[in-house]
Amino acid sequence: MAGKVISIEIGNVLTKVCEMDYRSANAKVYNSFTFETPKGTIEDGYVKEADEFIDVLHAKLASNQIKTKKVVFTVSSSKIATREVFLPLVSRDKIMSMVRANASDYFPMDISNYYLTYTVLEKAVSSEEKKLKLLLIAAPLDMIEAYFDLARTMGLTIVTIDYAGNSIFQVLKDMKTQGTNISIHVGETNTYVTILENGVLNLQRVVSYGANSAVETLLSIDKYRYDETVDEQRAYELFMSQQLINTVIPEDDSSREQEILTEDEKIRNEVTESLRFLLGNIVRVIDYYMSKTPGARIDMIFLSGIGAEFRGMRELFSFEIGSAVKSVTALPGCNYNPTGGADSCAVMLPAVGATKGSMNLMPEVFKTKKVKNDSMLVPIVVCLAGIVGAVAMWFYGSFTYDQKVNEKVELEAEKDQLKQIEVVIQEKDNSQKTFDQFMAMYKTTRNPNEKLVAFLNEVERKMPTCFEAMKMQVSEEGVSFDIHCDTKADAAEVIQQFRTFNSIQIISCSQFEEYEVEVTTAESLGYIIDENGETVPIYVMPSSTETPEIETDENGSEIEPTTAEHYIEVRISCVYKDTDTVLGETTTAAASTAAAAQ
């Protein structure tokens, strides 16, 4: 057990760092962060100009209070060759000699400048044959040496160096999934396609396209090309925060159809089109595996890497591959709570996997060189830097202390000046409390008839003489009744008067009818008292100087003369004005006044 280690993956754009337990069944990630890799630091896995990178990494480790001196690197490079091979079932001490004997068959190149290592994937034992399935790695020696030099310069001790493809596999096999599962890890410049059958690695291929295909396309578009605030790292942030990728690779559109697209739609189409080669190569790897494995069925596809954090990437992969795609959101056997974005499970997967089971790219020659070349130079430099830093911190602390003391004195003086505001606030709170109590008391004494009384008072004051109410219905919300008027002008005057009422807020007319009635005109002669003591009126048709025209019916009988009379019937509904609303407006106005005073 190596205890805590710093696991680092140096990417072309982003460097991923996490401090965690090494080779632990339930490892804990104590700290994690990412930062922009300085330009020129890394080139396809080779560490080039590392001075600026070392300064930035030292600063990040210090700001995150990481003091661990043991480091694990995981390397991603197209220069590292991999093969899945079968060997006869032999003892472990003979495996390496067999690999070297057949290395030229596995890797058609001069392997004298490469470091060979392997990991056992599976022991295939049956009645017919016994075989070992191995994953072979051939890594350039000068690439590995650069990482030893980097660690030595930083004063760190290398625990192991792993290959990113194996780091990904170490996490996937812990998921213990059944059936055929495919992992697609979309890095910055390379994509790893890993196919497992019941947790056993069957195929792993590296596609020389990654998330940079979309990022470079975005930066070449005029909208972003001339924007000095959008660099490569900012472009990655845009992909993680905005939907810049369609769910389908666009087909070739006619020029007319292109003209009607918005600028954002054209940008999404162009960015999505740049992913065509990446998806095409991934699909070819999957098709190759399916063709040589009859009856195989894809159970799940896992998407990880920085590309998995791009909005719309998972949906695009799912549609183009034709199978469900799930983003990696948790790492088995690892207690890790990422902050999201670039610091997520999907992005940190290789760095975490390198601590679980490394390919151990550790040539003995470099270990020896590390011991021989160790000197007091690094400790002396570190000591001097510490002294300088301590002195600087003392001066800074003294200056900051004086500044804070002066600031405290000023704040205390300001506090004394503002104490009188507390009295105003207290008075306002007391007034508000008293008002709320009176309002609560008032609401308990309210009676619906109060509104009716106010309404009838206004009717008596404002209705014209032509107003005649025939039928009235009263409720808690309002009044509705039928009225009679002599003419339409009278009806209009009545309605207009209702609109001036202070006691109602809504008036509506649901019926407006004109009626004609026949009445017999008679003249009163007075009253008589009948046998029961009741007063009975006596009427007689009025006499006229003119002889009225006598009308007869078909039988020759006279028809009593009549006159025609007209009237207008209107049905009016009135809704009382909401007293609570009026009071609420008053309360709001009072509160605004108090706030202004404060």
**pLDDT, tens digit (0-9, with 9 covering 90-100), for 432-441:** 888 988 888 8
In this prediction, residue 524 carries a pLDDT of 60
Instruction: Kindly state the DSSP code that residue 343 receives in the 8-state scheme.
Output: B
For residues 233-240, average pLDDT: 92
Query: Does residue 392 lie in a domain region?
Result: no
Q: Where are the beta strands (DSSP E) in 148-297?
A: 157-163, 180-186, 191-197, 200-207
> Taking a C-beta distance cutoff of 8 angstroms, is the pair 16, 347 a contact?
yes
For CA atoms 359, 211, 306, 289, the dihedral sign is: negative
Query: Does residue 231 lie in a domain region?
Result: no
Q: What is the rounded CA–CA span in Å between residue 185 and residue 325?
A: 12
Tokens of 575: 């809704």
Query: Does residue 236 lie in a domain region?
Result: no
> For the chain, how many structural domains are there in total?
1
Instruction: Kindly state the DSSP code that residue 560 receives in the 8-state scheme.
Output: P
pLDDT band at 544 (very low <50, low <70, confident <90, very high): very low
Residue 322: what residue type? G
**CA 261 centroid distance within chain:** 26
Residue 165: what residue type? G
Query: Does residue 347 lie in a domain region?
Result: no
* Continuous segment of H or E residues that includes residue 484: strand 478-485
Q: Among 251, 243, 244, which Cα is nearest to 271's?
A: 244
For residues 275-285, average pLDDT: 95
Tokens of 133: 């399935």
In this prediction, residue 589 carries a pLDDT of 46
Residue that is written with structure tokens 């399916």 in the block: 290
Tokens of 532: 């029961």
Mean pLDDT over all residues of the chain?
Answer: 83
pLDDT band at 485 (very low <50, low <70, confident <90, very high): confident
Instruction: Kindly state the DSSP code that residue 358 receives in the 8-state scheme.
Output: -
For residues 236-247, average pLDDT: 93
Residue 315, Cβ neighbours under 10 Å: how many? 15
Query: Does residue 268 lie in a domain region?
Result: no
Q: What is the rounded CA–CA span in Å between residue 519 and residue 253?
A: 84
Question: Using one digit for the tens of pLDDT, what is the confidence trace for 364-378?
Answer: 888 765 433 444 555
Instruction: Kindly state the DSSP code that residue 96 receives in the 8-state scheme.
Output: H
Q: What is the rounded CA–CA span in Å between residue 61 and residue 382?
A: 15
Query: Does residue 492 lie in a domain region?
Result: yes
In this prediction, residue 251 carries a pLDDT of 78
Buried b (16+ CB within 10 A) or exposed e, 447-464: eeeebbebbeebbeeebe
Least confident span in 163-167, 363-367, 553-557: 553-557
Predicted TM-score of the model (pTM): 0.61
In this prediction, residue 214 carries a pLDDT of 94
Numbers of helices and strands, H then E, in the chain: 19, 24
Which own/partner pairs from 191-196 qualify as long-range (CB within 8 Å, at least 24 positions apart)?
A: 191/278, 191/281, 191/282, 191/305, 191/307, 192/164, 192/165, 192/168, 192/305, 193/282, 193/285, 193/286, 194/165, 194/168, 194/169, 195/285, 195/286, 195/289, 196/169, 196/172
Coil, strand or helix at 351: helix
For residues 585-591, average pLDDT: 47
142: pLDDT strictly greater than 50? yes
482: pLDDT strictly greater than 90? no
221: pLDDT strictly greater than 80? yes
In this prediction, residue 518 carries a pLDDT of 58
Structural domain of 578 = 448-545+558-585
Q: Among 461, 430, 476, 478, which Cα is nearest to 594's?
A: 430
Residue 169: what residue type? F
Of 5 and 229, the one with more pLDDT: 5
487: pLDDT strictly greater than 60? yes
Residues of the chain with pLDDT > 70, as a percent, come to 83
CA dist 50 → 56, 185, 308, 369, 595 (Å): 10, 26, 28, 19, 60
Query: Does residue 485 lie in a domain region?
Result: yes
Q: Where are the beta strands (DSSP E) in 79-233?
A: 81-88, 114-125, 130-140, 157-163, 180-186, 191-197, 200-207
In this prediction, residue 592 carries a pLDDT of 53
Query: Which residues have C-beta within 8 Å of that of residue 140, sequence separation ≥ 6?
Result: 79, 80, 113, 114, 115
Query: Which residues have C-beta within 8 Å of that of residue 575, sequence separation ≥ 6?
Result: 477, 478, 504, 505, 506, 507
Q: What is the rounded CA–CA span in Å between residue 438 and residue 435?
A: 5
Least confident span in 174-183, 189-198, 525-534: 525-534
Of 333 and 518, the one with more pLDDT: 333
In this prediction, residue 542 carries a pLDDT of 56
Query: Does residue 204 lie in a domain region?
Result: no
Tokens of 374: 């160790």
517: pLDDT strictly greater than 70? no
